[in-house]
């Protein structure tokens, strides 16, 4: 028996004309089949077969065969062809029917495919079958239907693991179902109830079948199971128990108790409880003591005592004399009893001999009164008028004196500061400044009554020093005496101690000078700040940016803003700006409310406060703000809790995110590096980085110590050294260099680093090894101190201390000494100074050298701002944005570049790879090197992208 396949060709009208036949070789399988005719009559009017039903993909479950069906009309014959071979005619089940509408023959064929047939196929291809239908017009082939053996492995590739998480923490439960055909569908069960994310928005099931709980609630404490199922079977993972715990929190401190000692030294106590909230589900108990105790001193009552009696007075007209005493030995204090007894004592001074004279004087007095009785009214009125005139004269005198004193106080120049002794600051002598004086008063020079030390308007407050203060240190308080612009000298004396401190020259007309607090104590903050967006040169930059993007950079500060291409909508242009905010001191008034700083409590400001805008503009993708910081991060254990804060339109500060605690609702992503941080954000505004120590280890800030001196003195024997303590950031160094440039100061040595611990210890500065034969120190104190909080808060202007020296003669120019700067019970630095003060002026160019060591360009627009060409960027995004089963996608790129701290932020973006490349551009703006990116792509095995970078880019 033979089969014949007819070959055919198309007629001009589209019909198929059979011209010859090919005969299949005879085989035993087709011995009973009918022989196809040698030719079929041409029927141009009959159309080609059209499939009404094509075979569909099927899975063989266990050993049950699958049925494949196809139906075509018109069709004279239909046969199945599997894996390129014709199926035996006897294996076909054929049904014929007539279409009632068209009258054409409808033929349906069905075959059965068994597991054995599928398993006999060896190779990489799947088992497939296809229908071929004949009609007089020609043949038509159906789509291929694939037959696969269904299965589902027993073991999960990854099962969820039980965890204990704190309240409101984001939770990720991972599940990788067993391998199966077809791929298994995954459901999650919570205590055997199916989880439906559409019903509870706190749950999210990813495309990788992971379960994300956005914010863990107490009700989410349960058993979670991952269920995988397909047409073969259903598999359950091991149960993961999730426990949501609540760590304890301290309540507010109670008020301090009364001092337990009624007289003398005692203590006060306050308590708190671990109930805000109370620990739950194994949460940690509050760390720290539940009570605090401080010492207190209650002033003891002192009863008054009488002084010695004074001498007797002269004998009076009444033949008596008297004497007095006062209750001042000691006077009653602190509620003590007043002296008992009489303050005056009198007695007869003639031992009774004055009795007769007294009666005679009484008689004469009566006669005198009677004789003057008619004129008594005139005398009384005359006395009243005289007393009234005297009172008017006294009031006028007091008013004139007060007015003259006030005028001198407000408009005069302070020329003598030596009157500020011990108790109170008395006004000095005032006179107009002399224009012919070439040498203004120096902070270390003695007072010169003919020179003007500075002009100041506003109230003067007392400069006092405590009675119990140590004579070995000079404290630096919150007053403007710490500000580095010397134009007003105020000396403070305390027995054998002398210190010279300075007031700022840029005090506004509404400024104020605060009183010095007791030595060794940190005074409460009484300065008020104003926040202004200053467009001063060196503190701001701006440019008009469009769809091509660009980069704004404030030179010499380390602050920049990267605007990627496509961030600004097509056809729109924005005048974008970048500003470092200045916090100026100001007085408190109705028109100038209090200004809140980013830090609060024990937090510290670690970066400049930067504003970028315009705020509210529409951004299509995140921009990258780069901020330098001074946090020391290279420690084995994390000792910082870092928080990014933003300022609202009302001036208050709000937390944007805390590093390590990001959630899906966090609007930003912060990439932290050793000396700077990069913030991905979609909302422009005012931002700053603050930090707080994370127990048990104290955190450290990186500081810089810069030593300055004035230009070479001409006729003065005085010489001063100024040491600045600033944040280790380019912006802080630039601020001090600009300040000293305006003062004519010279940087003597390169700035030295210093780690400042959160240990509540002050910064101590001292000078040693002065050659006493030619130099002497005008400071009798052993050392000076800057209080801990002034440095830690980060809200003060550049702090410095001044060491005032005096040389023996004008011929002395060599100075050798050591200046030690260290934190009490902490690390320190030593300046080994050996200089010729006459040649210091020659090194003034050091300012320009240092200030020019940073970047120059402040704005780059369009493609010039980016190292990675746009063509290469698009090809990398197209290659890595699509998720890969092997994980060789943007997630692996994030791990290779070190940006994988919180991948969910990038997963929510339309192009995760594009955002990663934007962050890479910001991190490598200094070196502009593609090696790191090429290395990451090479490790991922993306050779095709490397070829593109080699041909289209510059590696």
Do 793 and 931 lie in one domain? The reply is no
Helix (H) or strand (E) holding 833: strand 828-836
Contact 659, 643 (CB under 8 A): yes
DSSP classification of residue 160: -
E strand or H helix at 860? strand 859-861
* Residues 705/752, Cβ–Cβ less than 8 Å: yes
Say if 938 falls within a structural domain: yes
- For residue 749, the tally of other CB atoms under 10 A from its CB is 15
Query: If residue 730 lies in a helix (H) or strand (E), which one and from where to where?
Result: helix 730-743
> How would DSSP label each residue in 73-117?
ES-SEEEEEETTEEPPGGG-EEEEEE-TTT--EEEEEEEEE-HHH
User: Do 351 and 330 touch, CB atoms closer than 8 A?
Assistant: no
CB 801 within 8 A of CB 732: no
Backbone angles phi, psi at 543, to 5 degrees: -165, 155
Q: Any idea what the CATH number is for the domain that residue 225 is in?
A: 2.60.40.10
pLDDT value of residue 788: 86
CATH number reported for the structural domain that contains residue 883 in this entry: 1.10.533.10
Q: Are residues 230 and 114 located together in one domain of the fold? A: no
Mean pLDDT of 810-824: 87
To 10 degrees, what angle do helices 931-940 and 912-923 make?
140
Summarize the confidence of residues 555-580 as an average pLDDT.
92
Cβ 541 vs Cβ 553: under 8 Å: yes
Q: What is the reported pLDDT for 610?
A: 94
Chain center to CA of 644: 3
Quick one: pLDDT at residue 556? 87
Q: What span, in angstroms and rounded, lies between the C-alpha atoms of 156 and 365? A: 129
Strands (DSSP E) found in 25-89: 50-53, 58-60, 66-73, 77-82, 85-86
Last residue of a domain, one of 641, 664, 697: 697
Name the DSSP letter for residue 920.
H
Report the range of poorest mean pLDDT among 545-559, 613-627, 812-826. Answer: 812-826
724 and 805: one domain? yes
CB-based contact 786:799 (threshold 8 Å): yes
> What is the count of structural domains for the chain?
6
Instruction: Say yes or no to pLDDT of 31 above 50.
Output: no
Is the domain of 832 the same as that of 735?
yes
Residue carrying structure tokens 């010492």: 295
End-to-end distance of the chain based on CA atoms, in angstroms? 71
In a domain, 787, yes or no: yes
Are 83 and 165 in the same domain? no
What pLDDT score does 886 carry?
A: 67
211: tokens are 């379960």
644 and 721 together in one domain: no
Task: At 279, list the tokens.
Answer: 């620990």
CB 906 within 8 A of CB 893: no
Which segments of 849-929 are extended strands (E)?
859-861
Tens-digit pLDDT profile for residues 304-335 = 999 988 888 888 777 888 888 989 888 988 88
Which stretches of 186-232 are DSSP H helices? Answer: none
- Coil, strand or helix at 70: strand
Say how many C-beta atoms besides its own lie within 10 A of residue 705's C-beta: 22
The alpha helices in 758-869, defined as continuous H runs, are 788-793, 846-851
235 and 266 belong to one structural domain: no
Nearest C-alpha neighbor of 497 from the set 454, 466, 453: 466
Q: Which residue has the higher pLDDT, 629 or 472?
A: 629
8 A C-beta contact, residue 254 and residue 270:
yes
> Which of 649, 664, 697 finishes a domain?
697
For residues 298 and 293, what is the distance between their CA atoms, to the nearest angstrom? Answer: 16
Give pLDDT tens digits for 250-270: 999 999 998 888 787 888 889
Q: Which of 175-184, 486-495, 881-890 has the lowest mean pLDDT?
A: 486-495
pLDDT (average), residues 670-679: 93
Query: Residue 824 CA to chain centroid, in angstroms?
Result: 28
Q: Does residue 497 or residue 877 have the better pLDDT?
A: 877
Contact 283, 245 (CB under 8 A): yes
Query: Which region among 226-240, 256-270, 348-362, 448-462 has the lowest average model confidence (pLDDT)?
Result: 448-462
State the pLDDT at residue 564: 95
In the chain, what percentage of residues exceed pLDDT 90?
A: 24
Cα–Cα distance between 623 and 561 in angstroms, integer?
A: 7
CATH number for position 717: 2.60.40.2660
For 653, the 3-state DSSP assignment is strand
Structure tokens at 408: 């001198």
Residue 628: pLDDT above 90? Answer: yes
Q: Write down the pLDDT at residue 40.
A: 53
- Which helix H or strand E contains 705, and what residues bound it? strand 700-709
Is the pLDDT assigned to residue 563 strictly greater than 90?
yes
Number of residues that this document lists for the chain: 955
Rounded Cα gap, residues 741 and 507, in angstroms: 18
Contact residues for 369 (Cβ-Cβ < 8 A; gap 6+): none
User: For the whole model, what pTM was predicted?
Assistant: 0.48
- What integer pLDDT is reported at residue 800 of this predicted model? 80
Q: Strands 814-823 and 783-786: what pairing? A: unpaired
Claim to verify: residue 164 and residue 227 sit in the same structural domain = yes
CB 48, CB 30: distance < 8 Å = no
Supply the range of the domain harboring residue 117.
Answer: 50-149
360 CB contacts (<8 Å, ≥6 apart)?
Answer: none
Compute the distance between CA of residue 170 and CA of residue 624 in angstroms, rounded to an integer: 25
Q: So what's the pLDDT on residue 119?
A: 81
Q: How far apart are CA 647 and CA 166, in angstroms?
A: 29
pLDDT of residue 637: 65
Give the strand pairing for 203-205 and 859-861.
unpaired
Same domain flag for 657 and 726: no
**781: in domain:** yes
Q: Is 779 inside any structural domain?
A: yes
* Mean of pLDDT over the chain: 75
Tens digit of each residue's pLDDT (9 = 90 or more) over 72-91: 988 888 999 998 889 888 88
Helix (H, G, I), strand (E, B) or coil at 801: strand
Residue 29 in domain: no
Structure tokens at 870: 């746009």
Mean pLDDT value across residues 469-492:
38
On whether residue 117 sits in a domain, the answer given is: yes
pLDDT, greater one: 505 or 212: 212
Out of 697, 721, 750, a domain closes at 697
pLDDT of 494 over the 50 cut: no
Residue 99 placed within a domain: yes
Phi, psi for 384 (deg, rounded to 5):
-65, -45
Per-residue pLDDT band at 211 (split at 50, 70, 90): very high
Average pLDDT over residues 118-128: 77
Q: Give residue 948's pLDDT band: very low, low, confident or very high (50, 70, 90).
A: low
Res. 192: pLDDT tops 50: yes
172 and 239, same structural domain?
yes
Least confident of 411-415, 497-501, 883-887: 497-501
- Whole-number pLDDT of residue 864: 84
- Condensed to tens digits (0 to 9), the pLDDT of residues 410-445 reads 443 433 333 332 333 333 333 334 344 444 333 333
CA gap 756, 762 in Å, rounded:
10
Q: Mean pLDDT, to the nearest integer, of 281-300? A: 86
Query: Both 821 and 731 in a single domain?
Result: yes
pLDDT at 363 over 50: no
Core vs surface per residue 344-355: b (16+ CB within 10 A) or e: eeeeebeeeebe
Distance CA 835, CA 830 (A): 15
**Segment 450-464 mean pLDDT:** 34
DSSP 596: -
**How far is the C-alpha of 683 from the C-alpha of 681, rounded, in Å?**
6
Contact 809, 717 (CB under 8 A): yes
Helices (H) and strands (E) in the chain, counts: 12, 57
User: Is residue 267 included in any domain, yes or no?
Assistant: yes
Closest by CA position to 278, among listed 171, 168, 167: 167
Predicted local distance difference test score (pLDDT) of residue 352: 67
Do 712 and 692 belong to one domain?
no
- Cβ 560 vs Cβ 554: under 8 Å: yes
pLDDT, average across residues 592-596: 49
Report the pLDDT averaged over residues 586-595.
41
Residue with tokens 């008689």: 363
pLDDT 10s digits, 739-786: 888 888 888 888 999 999 888 788 899 998 888 888 888 877 778 888
């Amino acid at each position: 028996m033979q089969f014949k396949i007819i070959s055919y060709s198309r007629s001009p009208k589209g019909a198929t004309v059979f011209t010859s036949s090919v005969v299949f070789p005879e085989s035993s399988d087709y011995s009973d089949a009918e022989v196809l005719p040698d030719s079929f009559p041409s029927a141009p009017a009959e159309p080609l077969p059209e499939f009404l039903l094509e075979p569909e993909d099927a899975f063989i479950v266990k050993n049950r065969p699958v049925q494949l069906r196809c139906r075509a009309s018109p069709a004279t014959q239909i046969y199945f062809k599997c894996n390129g071979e014709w199926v035996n005619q006897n294996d076909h089940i054929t049904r014929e029917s007539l279409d009632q509408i068209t009258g054409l023959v409808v033929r349906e064929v069905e075959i059965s495919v068994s597991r054995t047939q599928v398993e006999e196929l060896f190779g990489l291809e799947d088992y497939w079958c296809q229908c071929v239908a004949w009609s007089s017009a020609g043949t038509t082939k159906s789509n291929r239907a694939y037959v696969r053996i269904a299965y589902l492995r027993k073991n999960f590739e990854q099962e969820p693991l039980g965890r204990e998480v704190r309240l409101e923490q984001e939770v990720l439960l991972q599940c990788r179902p067993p391998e199966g055909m077809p791929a298994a569908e995954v459901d999650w069960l919570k205590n055997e109830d199916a989880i439906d994310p559409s019903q509870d928005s706190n749950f999210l099931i990813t495309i990788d079948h992971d379960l994300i709980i956005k914010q863990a609630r107490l009700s989410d404490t349960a058993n979670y199971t991952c269920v995988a199922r397909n047409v073969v079977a259903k598999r359950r993972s091991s149960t993961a128990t999730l426990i949501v715990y609540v760590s304890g929190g301290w309540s507010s401190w109670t008020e301090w108790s009364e001092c337990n000692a009624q007289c003398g030294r005692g203590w006060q106590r306050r308590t708190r409880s671990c109930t805000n909230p109370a620990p739950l589900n194994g949460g940690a108990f509050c760390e720290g003591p539940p009570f605090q105790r401080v010492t207190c001193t209650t002033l003891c009552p002192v009863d008054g005592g009488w002084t010695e009696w004074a001498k007797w007075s002269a004998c009076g007209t009444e033949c008596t004399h008297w004497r007095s005493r006062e209750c001042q030995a000691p006077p009653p204090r602190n509620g003590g009893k007043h002296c008992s007894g009489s303050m005056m004592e009198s007695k007869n001074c003639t031992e009774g001999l004055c009795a007769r004279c007294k009666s005679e004087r009484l008689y004469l007095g009566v006669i005198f009164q009677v004789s003057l009785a008619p004129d008594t009214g005139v005398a009384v009125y005359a006395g009243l008028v005289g007393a009234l005139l005297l009172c008017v004269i006294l009031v006028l005198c007091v008013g004139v004196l007060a007015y003259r004193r006030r005028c001198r106080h407000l408009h005069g120049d302070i020329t003598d500061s030596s009157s500020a002794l011990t108790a109170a600051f008395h006004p000095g002598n005032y006179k107009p400044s002399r224009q012919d004086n070439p040498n203004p008063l120096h902070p270390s020079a003695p007072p010169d009554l003919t020179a003007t030390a500075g002009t100041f308007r506003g109230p003067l407050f007392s400069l006092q020093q405590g009675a119990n203060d140590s004579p070995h240190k000079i404290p630096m308080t919150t007053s403007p005496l710490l500000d580095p612009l010397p134009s007003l000298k105020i000396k403070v004396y305390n027995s054998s101690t002398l210190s010279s401190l300075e007031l700022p020259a840029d005090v506004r007309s509404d400024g104020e000078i605060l009183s010095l607090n007791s030595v060794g104590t940190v005074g409460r903050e009484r300065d008020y700040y104003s926040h202004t967006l200053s467009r001063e040169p060196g503190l701001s930059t701006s440019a008009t940016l469009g769809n091509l993007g660009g980069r704004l950079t404030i030179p010499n500060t380390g602050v920049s803003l990267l605007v990627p291409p496509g961030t600004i909508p097509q056809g729109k242009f924005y005048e974008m700006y970048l500003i470092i905010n200045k916090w100026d001191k100001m007085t408190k008034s109705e028109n100038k409310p209090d200004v809140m700083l980013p830090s609060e409590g024990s937090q510290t400001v670690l970066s400049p406060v930067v504003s970028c805008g315009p705020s509210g503009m529409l951004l299509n993708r995140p921009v990258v703000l780069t901020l330098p910081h001074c946090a020391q991060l290279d420690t084995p254990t994390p000792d910082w809790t870092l928080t990014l804060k933003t300022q609202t339109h009302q001036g208050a500060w709000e937390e944007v995110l805390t590093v390590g605690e990001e959630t899906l609702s966090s609007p930003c992503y912060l990439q932290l590096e050793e000396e700077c941080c990069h913030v991905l954000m979609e909302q422009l505004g005012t931002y700053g980085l603050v930090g707080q120590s994370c127990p048990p280890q104290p955190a450290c800030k990186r500081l810089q110590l810069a030593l300055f001196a004035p230009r070479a003195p001409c006729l003065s024997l005085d010489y001063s050294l100024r040491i600045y303590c600033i944040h280790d950031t380019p912006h802080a160094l630039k601020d001090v260099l600009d300040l000293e440039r305006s003062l004519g100061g010279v940087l003597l040595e390169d700035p030295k680093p210093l780690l400042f611990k959160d240990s509540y210890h002050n910064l101590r500065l001292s000078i040693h090894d002065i050659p006493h034969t030619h130099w002497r120190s005008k400071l009798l104190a052993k050392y000076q101190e800057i209080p801990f909080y002034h440095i830690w808060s980060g809200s003060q202007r550049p702090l410095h201390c001044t060491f005032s020296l005096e040389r023996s003669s004008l011929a002395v120019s060599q100075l050798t000494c050591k200046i030690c700067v260290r934190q009490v019970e902490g690390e320190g630095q030593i300046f080994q100074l050996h200089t010729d003060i006459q040649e210091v002026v020659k090194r003034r160019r050091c300012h320009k050298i240092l200030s020019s060591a940073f970047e120059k360009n402040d704005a780059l627009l369009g493609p010039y701002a980016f190292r990675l060409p746009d063509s290469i960027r698009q090809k990398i995004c197209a290659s890595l944005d699509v998720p890969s089963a092997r994980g060789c996608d943007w997630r692996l790129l994030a791990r290779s570049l070190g940006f994988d701290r919180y991948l969910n932020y990038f997963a929510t973006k339309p192009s995760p790879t594009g955002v990663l490349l934007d962050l890479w551009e910001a991190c490598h703006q200094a070196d502009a090197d593609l090696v790191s990116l090429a290395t990451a792509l090479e490790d991922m095995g993306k050779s095709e992208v490397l070829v593109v970078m080699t041909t289209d880019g510059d590696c």
